[in-house]
Amino acid sequence: MITISMAERTRLEKKYPEVFQPNFLRRWGLLVGAGLALLYLIFCWFFFSVGPALKNGRWDRAAIYVQDWYSWRAQPRLRFQDDAVVPQWSSRGQYAEGATIDWLTPHANGSMTATFGSESNRLEISTAQVDVYLDGVPYAIAITDDAALAPENAPPEIEQDGRKVLVNYGFAGQAEIRDNQVAVQRRFLGWANFLYDPSSPLWGNDLFSTIGLVFSSDRVVAEKSNAQLVLDEWLGNRAWQHGDILAKLMQTLVMAFVGTLFATLVAFPLAFIAARNITASRPANWLMKRSFDFLRSIDMLIWALFFTRGFGPGPIPGIAAIFFADTGALGKVYAEALENLDDKQREGIKSVGASPAAVNRFGVVPQVLPVFISQSLYFWESNTRSATVIGAVGAGGIGLKLLEAMGTNSDWDKVAYMVLLILLVVFLFDNVSNAIRSRLIGTTH
């Protein structure tokens, strides 16, 4: 332990008063900041009515949407017609015409059985009565002229809702029983018809059988090789629209690349005008910096809405929106990099009588070029995400396709598919840009 004299302590206190007598902010700043942040969160909780919003949220509906991301629902309407139960499918029918459906069995007397996972959980449907089996226990639902009536001893899974009866089989599905039909929702894991739609000659083939077809010498269609047929049928899948989705994804990537490239090419020379140590004119510096502020202060989404009105829907508004917003942002970043460069290299080139253009070419550009390219790569990577958002407002690309799928409120599996594609592309671009940036920054050491 080191001891010091009183005189030495007094000398040190006079020389370093901030150490021995810290001010209020140094002593209590962290605690005060944490308290203010807590008070702000409490204020937001009540101001935005977070509690009632959480309480009144439709969590059951949210759970169904989440299930729709990784599963699919077959949704036939079993209508009562002429003392028979007749299935009617939606326009997105997941089965080929005349296909045998293992969980939906018609009977000779006009009735029908719908199975939910096992024989102990099923519906025996006729035009006069629907027998609901839950874990093997039957419950009779009476069908009258104007209503379906549940029995008095019905369990919670069977609910009387006005003139209809709701039956819940959990993840396996639900049923809505009315006086003239039974609307069935049967859920399965996975994505229905992801490879081929029901009208395809390859419908019913899974991934492994498809690989076998590609290497088989027996052609499914005489005029096409199996490999060409598989590619055409997969891209032309009318239910999943793989070809259109991939084309829209490429459109999004092109928007991000071209918009960022144009912004880089324009911001590069303009940044030299904005940098005070490069251009001596203060009015020119001020005017250029304010121009950058104007361009970047307007959000990319607003630019996209503006250009969509002018050019109509398509990639051009998206490219223009990225170009305008990124020109302002990159111009500011470039100008700051120029103002912080080392002047020794410039002075050395000036000393040999080089022209201003040569000074900038050989004394400035080699110093800042790795930083410029690194920032442009980062913006390019970020714009692959931004292009998806601006596409949703009419700028084209996969964003518009994503919005269309969400608008149907029934294509959440397709939404999940497009989100996964976007994540994959962003992950790929992130790794590529990081690798390039690390190499560029490494060359400066």
**SS3 category, 294:** helix
Report the C-alpha gap between 105 and 92 in whole angstroms.
21
Report the C-alpha gap between 51 and 62 in whole angstroms.
18
Mean pLDDT of 331-351: 79
Query: Among 75, 263, 246, which residue's Cα sits nearest to residue 175?
Result: 75
Domains detected in the chain: 73-189 (no CATH), 242-443 (1.10.3720.10)
Report the C-alpha gap between 218 and 206 in whole angstroms.
18
In the predicted structure, residue 1 carries a pLDDT above the cut 70: no
pLDDT value at residue 434: 81
Residues contacting 411, CB < 8 A, separation 6+ = 405
Q: 171: number of CA atoms within 13 Å, CB side?
A: 9
In the predicted structure, residue 281 carries a pLDDT above the cut 50: yes
Give the model confidence (pLDDT) of 200-228 as tens digits: 888 888 889 999 888 888 888 888 888 99
**SS3 category, 176:** strand
Report the C-alpha gap between 94 and 114 in whole angstroms.
16
Confidence of residue 384 (pLDDT cuts 50, 70, 90): confident
Tally Cβ neighbours within 10 Å of residue 365.
14
Give the model confidence (pLDDT) of 35-63 as tens digits: 999 999 999 998 888 888 888 877 777 77
Which stretch of 136-140, 244-248, 418-422, 439-443 has the lowest confidence by average pLDDT? 439-443
pLDDT value at residue 442: 60
Which stretch of 8-17, 249-258, 290-299, 419-428 has the lowest confidence by average pLDDT? 8-17
Report the C-alpha gap between 141 and 177 in whole angstroms.
8
Q: If you average pLDDT over every residue of the chain, what do you get?
A: 85
Torsions phi, psi of 329, nearest 5? -70, -45
Is the separation of the CB atoms in 259 and 319 below 8 Å? yes
Tally Cβ neighbours within 10 Å of residue 400.
22
In the predicted structure, residue 443 carries a pLDDT above the cut 60: no
Residues contacting 252, CB < 8 A, separation 6+ = 318, 384, 387, 388, 391, 396, 397, 398, 399
Query: Among 186, 183, 170, 188, which residue's Cα sits nearest to residue 125?
Result: 183
Report the C-alpha gap between 251 and 249 in whole angstroms.
5
In the predicted structure, residue 374 carries a pLDDT above the cut 50: yes
pLDDT value at residue 445: 40
Mean pLDDT of 8-36: 75
Give the model confidence (pLDDT) of 67-88 as tens digits: 888 898 888 999 998 889 999 8
Paired strand residues for 85: 80
DSSP string, 300-366: HHHHHHHHHHHH-SSHHHHHHHHHHHHHHHHHHHHHHHHHTS-HHHHHHHHTTT--HHHHIIIIIHH
Percentage of residues in the chain having pLDDT higher than 70 = 93
In the predicted structure, residue 330 carries a pLDDT above the cut 90: yes
Give the model confidence (pLDDT) of 104-141 as tens digits: 999 988 899 999 988 899 999 998 899 999 999 999 99
Let me know the angle formed at the C-alpha of 80 by 77 and 86, rounded to the nearest 5 degrees: 55
Confidence of residue 444 (pLDDT cuts 50, 70, 90): very low
Name the DSSP class of 392: I
Amino acid (1-letter code) at residue 334? Y
Confidence of residue 306 (pLDDT cuts 50, 70, 90): confident
Mean pLDDT of 18-44: 82
Written as six digits, the tokens of 346 are 């410039």
Return the sign of the alpha-carbon dihedral for residues 322, 242, 408, 61.
negative
